[in-house]
Every structure is written in structure tokens, then in C-alpha cells.
Amino acid sequence: MSGGLLVAGTTSDAGKSVVTAGICRWLVRQGVKVAPFKAQNMSLNSFVTTEGAEIGRAQAMQAQACRIEPTALMNPVLLKPGGEQSSQVVLLGKPVGELSARGYHGGRQQQLLGTVLDCLEQLRGTYDAVICEGAGSPAEINLRRTDIVNMGIARNAGLPVLVVGDIDRGGVFASFFGTVALLSPEDQACVAGFLVNKFRGDVSLLEPGLDMLHGLTGRKTYGVLPFRHGLGIDEEDGLRVSLRGAVRESVVAPPLGEDVLRVAVCAVPLMSNFTDVDALAAEPGVVVRFVDRPEELSDADLVIVPGTRGTVRALEWLRERGLADALVRRAAEQRPVLGICGGFQILGEHIEDDVESRRGQVDGLGILPVRVRFAREKTLTRPSGEALGERVEGYEIHHGVADVTGGIPFLDGCRVGQSWGTHWHGSLESDGFRRAFLREVAAAAGRRFVPAPDTSFAALREEQLDRLGDLIEQHADTDALWRLIESGAPQGLPFIPPGAPA
């Protein structure tokens, strides 16, 4: 087998990332050597590879589905929004500058086509199959001329395209038809068919519509995936829950002790790597919620100030909403607070930022004895160490350089009383450390909470990836999917008017 596939979507958040991961896990269970690929990703959730490259967390998760180490080849272009109008451009794992949307789509994007095609070719030369993920919709006609992630990559690399639609949103037939009908004849020739995602109910009621869609487009539907809770892992574009919704989507065991432990996460602007709290949400008896009002901190046993792409902006937001004063009071009362990356910087005494916000000298909350200076070069590392008597692994992604002048050392940051700060993302995925930290929090909060002795976050992640593979194996036409990956889009697919506008 030697082939590939592009998983596109009728919309953003149609399920491209999880479908790509599911296909990868299904293939690897068949003995296929497979790798993921996304030419261009826009996300504040990122990861650091072993070679020190920054890529989207979704591609790191897909690499895990393939049971391989992620590399920069799998996500050569990463855009990290810094506001409404601009993003940091990360090329082959390293930041190369800030660009406005107009500047990027006005020419820079097309210049990167050769780079992304070269990365894809290297992967295809190494693996039996490469499963590519698109971005947004392939029918964004205003962006088609400079597209390097949807039909641009499919056409240039000769990839068949499978279009995923989220039927839970409604209008999936119109979305499928309209997506194809807005593409040029050459682009339409790449679109092999459709995959329905998040279906609830009796599939037999859907089948007449699928038959009509086939009659209208000449393209088959390769599967109908049922709605499943708890599969939205390592998402790209935003919170998978409403602001004050619980993180947990799946049912977990009740607490071992007499009490639950309540965790409030400040939903700061440009929040990055909010997946840090997933490991807490996986613990029986831990309730994790995102909050944006000071009164929501009052009954929390632990408050987390998470990472952010805009540290100074997030600090101002906390002050505007009264959350900053609430955090300072918590710290003074010896109630647990944890700052991660940008949140760690916010908890410090002083910030000097001529790089990210260009605001110069800014006072922090003064909770931790830390002074931060933003450097132009980004720190991208995979540190490991020990804390609370347990082995810890993590990853760092930040411009801020912390000068820690006091407190107790904690994961290259510090601790003062019940206030903790570190630049390390992912530390809570280390099971022994997470349990030790939760015991400290429970004791400080006066909660009779007992961490489960056997919760393995890595095992839970593997179970989720296997569930994604099961969805493909059980609810997709895997024989047809196999032929598509191996041989490309069927010949003679009909053109659906009107096609792309001139």
C-alpha cells in the first residue's frame, strides 16, 4: 500500500481532526505504517516535538494514533493568533514572524506551498500512507487562489478528498452538495465522497437522503459515524464546552473520598494549551470548569491561571473583571492557585514585554517572586524533573524568561505557600505527580478528597484513540476507504454546476 487521503470538512469543527485520528488508528491496527499531516494549522493548542519543534497538538495526537513520534514534517505551518488581525507564523517548528491575515493570504501563504509539498513528499516516502487533514472548508472561494491546505494540497499532491459533515449542526446535505458545487472542475475531480459525523438515531431514516445525494453528485458516502461523548481530544480552535461548562464529557467513577475537588480555570483571552487541565478532569471526583467572574472562584478548591498567547492582555482582562483582586486575596488566604506558562508570568511581580504586546514595563499580580522579560527567541523544550517526590515530564512554549528570586523551587518555577507557578505544560499528565499535587490541594482546601491510585492518563488517551479507530472500523465502508487511500479518487466523477466563480 502506498497512498494518501485528505480529510476535508464542510465547516470548521466538523470533526476533521478526530476522523483523521480515527482513520490513522484503524490503519495502524491493520499493520499499515501511517503518518498524519496538516499543511497549515491555526491553533493556540500546540506541542513540542523531541527535536524542539512546535506543532499543533491535534497533529501530535494523530501521531499518537499512528503510534509514532510527532515531527515538524507533520505540521509545517502553524499560525498562532495574537489578536483579531494577526498571527505568529511558525514554520517547520520555529517562529518566523508576525503577519496580518491580509499579509499572509496576500502572498506569503502561496510562497509556502513548496515547503509543505516537500514535507508531505518526505512523509510519503517514509510511510505506507499519509492521512492529511484540511482546514476550515475547501469551498472558501475567497481564499482558493492561495490555498495550501485544502484543494491546493490535494491537487498538487494528487490526493483524494473525503468531505466530513457534522449532521448534529443540521443542513448536512446542503453543506455536502454546496461544498462540491462551489469547486472548479479540476478540484471537484479530487472529491471522492462524503462522511457523515455525529449522527443520532436510526441510520435507515438517513439512507434515502444519502441515496439522493449520490444521485445528485455521483459521489458515495463512505460512512455514518454515530455521536459519541468524550471524543473531542486535543482540539484546535476553541473550548469544546461553553465558557462555564464542565470539561468532562464522559462518565467517570465517583470520588474515592467523601468530597469532590472543584477546579476553576480562568478563561483568559487567547488561552493556549487549555488541554493542560484534561488530566485533572480525568480524575474521579475532580470537577473542572472554566470561569470568567470573581464570584465563581469562591467555592473553588484550586484556581488555575492557564497559558495564553497574550500575557499582558490576559492580565488586563483579569483586572477588568475583578478576577485579579480575587486571585490576590486567595493567595493571601493560602488557598491554592496554580499558574501555568502565561499564567505563571501573570502571578509574578513584574513583566517587561517588548515582544508580544510591546507594552514595555507592566506590574504583575505580585503573588510569586518572579520577574519576567520577554525574549525574541521562543523557548521550545521538553523538560523532565522531579516535584513533590514524583517524576514529572512536560514541555515549554514561551517567549517570557523568568527570573525567580525566592520561594520554593517548583518545576523550574516556584511555590510560595499555596501559590504555584511553572512554565511547564503537560506536567499534570504525569500520574504520580498529579496525585501528589491533588493531595496537597485537598489538604490546603480542607477537603476529604482521595486521588484514585490507578488513574493512568496515558491509558485513558489510548482508550480514546482506540474508540476513534472503532468508529471507523464499525461505521465506515473500510473496503472502499482502503481503495480510496491506495488508488485515489474514482475516475469519471461528474461535474456539479455552477463550479467555482471566475
Under a CB-based contact definition with an 8 Å cutoff, are residues 150 and 24 in contact?
no
Q: What is the pLDDT of residue 233?
A: 61
Query: Catalytic pick from 132, 341, 423, 475?
Result: 341
The bridge status of strand 40-42 relative to strand 77-81 is parallel
**Quick check: is 425 catalytic?**
yes
DSSP summary character for residue 490: P
Other C-beta atoms closer than 10 Å to the C-beta of 349 total 17
- Inform me whether the pLDDT recorded for 12 exceeds 50: yes
DSSP H/E element including 97? strand 94-100
Q: Supply the pTM of this predicted model.
A: 0.90
Taking all residues of the chain, what is their mean pLDDT, rounded to a whole number? 90
- Pairing type for strands 370-381 and 396-404 reads antiparallel
Q: For residue 230, what pLDDT band results from cuts at 50, 70 and 90?
A: low
Reduced to 3 states (helix: H, G, I; strand: E, B; else coil), residue 195 is strand
- CB-CB contact of 39 with 134 (8 Å): no
Neighbours of 458 (CB within 10 A): 12
Q: What percent of the chain has pLDDT over 70?
A: 92
**Strand-strand pairing, 161-166 and 3-9:** parallel
Q: Is 266 a catalytic residue?
A: no
How confident is the model over 258-277, as a mean pLDDT? 90
Among 411, 363, 463, 401, which residue's Cα sits nearest to residue 65?
463
What residue spans of 309-456 are helical by DSSP H? 311-320, 323-332, 342-347, 431-445
Q: What is the CA radius of gyration of the chain?
A: 23
Bond prior to 81 in cis (omega within 30° of 0): no
As a whole-number percent, the residues of the chain with pLDDT over 90 amount to 77
- More confident position, 134 or 274: 134
pLDDT in the model for residue 241: 38
The answer on pLDDT for 61 being more than 80 is: yes
Report, as an integer, the average pLDDT of 361-387: 95
Is residue 456 left, alpha or beta, with left meaning phi > 0 and alpha meaning psi from -120 to 50? beta
Q: Are strands 337-340 and 302-305 parallel, antiparallel or unpaired?
A: parallel
pLDDT digits (tens, 9 = 90+) for 81-92: 876 677 888 999
* CA gap 390, 386 in Å, rounded: 5
Annotated catalytic residue, options 398, 399, 425, 475:
425
The alpha carbon of residue 51 and the mean position of all alpha carbons in its chain are separated, in whole angstroms, by 20
Per-residue confidence (pLDDT) for residue 231, from 0 to 100? 62
E-state strands within 227-266: 261-266
